[in-house]
Amino acid sequence: MPRYIIYGAGGIGGALGAFLLESGRETVLIARGEHLRRVQADGLTLVTPEGARQVPVPAVESPAELGLRPDDRVLLTMKTQDTEAALRALRDAGADPWHTSLFSVQNCLANERIASRYFARVYGVMIVVPGIHLEPGVVVNPIRGNHGYMDAGRYPGGTDATAETFVAEVRAAGYAANLSPNVMAPKGAKFLMNLANALEAITDGQGDSGTYMREARAEGRACLTAAGLPFEDADAFNARVKAHRGENVEIAGVPKRGSSWQSLTRGQGTVEADFLNGEVALLGRLHGIPTPYNAVLQRVASEMARAREKPGRYTVEELHAMAAAYGRG
């Protein structure tokens, strides 16, 4: 039976590894810092609507500790800014660049392309999975009915037996999952949704985000279209996800916030805005499309991360003014 290596043990990866282990799959986490030490000492604390439990999932600090096998399946679950270094560490530890199956269980659109520079067998996985990681050794999956929803397929397109097996095994672990021969289209739709992550982190809910995000997502759609990158229609995507995904549940004492807000709250020093809003800014520069709303989110969120500021520096209205000034400049 293939082993699952979960590279990045945060809110998404940690929970996924725990659920796979509990379903009978051999699983190991790659984690770091105090989070790793807690998991190695006490197991991973997994919090769900049913309560908290300790899951004795094995964990290591780097791929070099694993004794890599030809049939390992590596699930990338780190933030995109950490992807390339992780791929190099994986290859340097002995992962076969022609045969190792690599699954990008991540947001953003850059990961699969980055991974394909190093590995031949790359799979895209679109995730609509709630995950919260604010405390070392603890991850939260605040959803009932299933653990979240995924689409999976080969990159840049198609399916195969490995993708089919992955879908079957994450279903057995409690997720809703779908085999997708054009997986980058739902990933494009989710990417447009995730452009709001930086806004939430910067403002901490101060102000009306609706108008700002309509502009930011319009920039995103224009840039993806100009670049020839697919994205599923938002209404069709949302209806499909709603039909399969479980129901979010409020858990006492656990804030219901996105991954960028969590990154600022933990003071990580980095945030994913360079590969969300920054991807739109990049495509805009390549194709001559103004992107002031995304450019502002990228710059401010990245500055706050480097300074280790907590969420809430600006209101939405202040960001509107910055976007207008950027457009005039």
- Buried-state track 221-234, b at ≥16 Cβ within 10 A, e below 16: ebbbeeeebbbbee
- Whole-Å CA distances, 233 to 186, 238, 319: 9, 9, 27
Residue whose C-alpha is closest to residue 9's, from 42, 43, 32: 32
Contact 10, 29 (CB under 8 A): no
**272, containing H or E segment:** none
Architecture of domain 4-182: 3-Layer(aba) Sandwich (3.40)
Specify the domain boundaries for CATH 3.40.50.720 within the chain. Answer: 4-182
CATH of domain 187-229+253-328: 1.10.1040.10
Of 96, 48, 101, nearest to 73 by C-alpha is: 101
Q: What is the pLDDT along the chain (329 residues), one digit of tens a residue?
A: 899 999 999 999 999 999 999 999 999 999 999 999 999 999 999 999 999 999 999 999 999 999 999 999 999 999 999 999 999 999 999 999 999 999 999 999 999 999 999 999 999 999 999 999 999 999 999 999 999 999 999 999 999 999 999 999 999 999 999 999 999 999 999 999 999 999 999 999 999 999 999 999 999 999 999 999 999 999 999 999 999 999 999 999 999 899 999 999 999 999 999 999 999 999 999 999 999 999 999 999 999 999 999 999 999 999 999 999 997 76
pLDDT of residue 121: 98
CA angle, residues 68, 71, 76, in degrees to nearest 5: 70
